[in-house]
Amino acid sequence: MQTDPASPIEPAFEVKSFEVKQEELPPFEDMPFEDIEELPLEHPGAKDPEYRKRRDEIASLAKKFRETGEITDMDYTEEEQEVWRFVASELEELHQEKASPFYLKAKKNLGISNDRIPQLTEMNKRLGETTGFRLAPIEGLVDTRAFLSWLSWRTMLSTQYIRHHSRPGYTPEPDIVHEAIGHIPMFTNPAFADFSQFIGHGARMANDEQLEGLGRIYWYTIEYGLVEAEGDIKAYGAGLLSSFKELKHAFSDEVERRPFVLEEVIEKEYTYSHMQPVLYIVPSYDFLKGEIRRYIESFGK
């Protein structure tokens, strides 16, 4: 058994998808994560002691998961549920118009509703039945290599807390809205799941420069990707699907929407602090799978 999720794979490794059984996973170990005081953008909850206390409580459950392997279902408060209901219903309408057809179907199949915050355990069950992907609770943003490497194990580290109620439309870091509405439905797509796993394989063999390229691919696809669908362009990236403003902006005249060209994307810097001026369109998720394989196979050459 591997002891470190980022344990290196030799560049000669064949880039392929495979199921990972529970007992084959590397152990979940504590990882340094970004405190909300240290985030590059101001956090609306940073000065709210109640919110900070609640965050610590939820963080302790992620830690408990790493010790016991058991995910604890969250007992969300009425205030937290209210934030979810507000954001989820606001997004729902826009999704019908702008989200990829696969995403719309998948969200429904996962049972993600506007009424209540879904639990990681229930989504995990469905992911397991479809693509063998799984979710593991985490306290916040972690190091890029560690985060991406877990994808190699068909595992996505997922937060459970929710954004601050004072600004339901905004969060400077991932939260359960971003994970469950943004990311999780797409992991039920076999090609997308394999593509994600390949990014993980890449992160385990990349040097620092290649890792930066992988981070940019991740950003312009899993976070901000657009896809051709039914003769139109639709969103499948989590950063778009979980933000009303970003999703609207993505289809506005302020954004240049270009075809995804691997060699360009790996060189394209991105920003956290502004909305994205350039987005990339892929013809299909299978295309992504082929392109990431081509990129990773170039490592070590």
Closest distance to Fe ion from the beta carbon of 85 (Å): 21
Closest distance to Fe ion from the beta carbon of 246 (Å): 12
| Cβ(188)–Cβ(130) below 8 Å | yes
Stretch that binds Fe ion, among 126-134, 188-196, 238-246, 273-281 (CB under 5 A): 238-246
Q: Is 86 exposed, middle or buried (0-12, 13-18, 19+ CB in 10 A)?
A: middle
Among residues 193, 199, 203, 238, the one that binds Fe ion under rule CB under 5 A: 238
Contacts of 231 (CB under 8 A, 6+ apart): none
296 binds Fe ion (CB under 5 A): no
d(CA 4, CA 27): 7
Closest distance to Fe ion from the beta carbon of 143 (Å): 14
Stretch that binds Fe ion, among 7-15, 29-37, 237-245, 267-275 (CB under 5 A): 237-245
Closest distance to Fe ion from the beta carbon of 3 (Å): 27
Residue closer to Fe ion, measured from CB, 5 or 182: 182
Residue closer to Fe ion, measured from CB, 142 or 281: 142
User: How many residues sit in the footprint of Fe ion (CB under 5 A)?
Assistant: 1
Q: What number of H helices and E strands is found in the chain?
A: 12, 6
Residue closer to Fe ion, measured from CB, 195 or 299: 195
Q: Position 201: which residue type? A: H
Contacts of 71 (CB under 8 A, 6+ apart): 65, 120, 121, 124, 135, 136, 137
Q: For Fe ion, which residue has the nearest CB?
A: 238
How far lies 112's CA from each of 82, 123, 177, 178, 258, in Å?
15, 8, 11, 13, 31
Residue closer to Fe ion, measured from CB, 162 or 238: 238
Stretch that binds Fe ion, among 93-101, 111-119, 235-243, 259-267 (CB under 5 A): 235-243
Question: Catalytic residue positions?
Answer: 178, 183, 223, 242
Interface residue list for Fe ion (CB under 5 A): 238
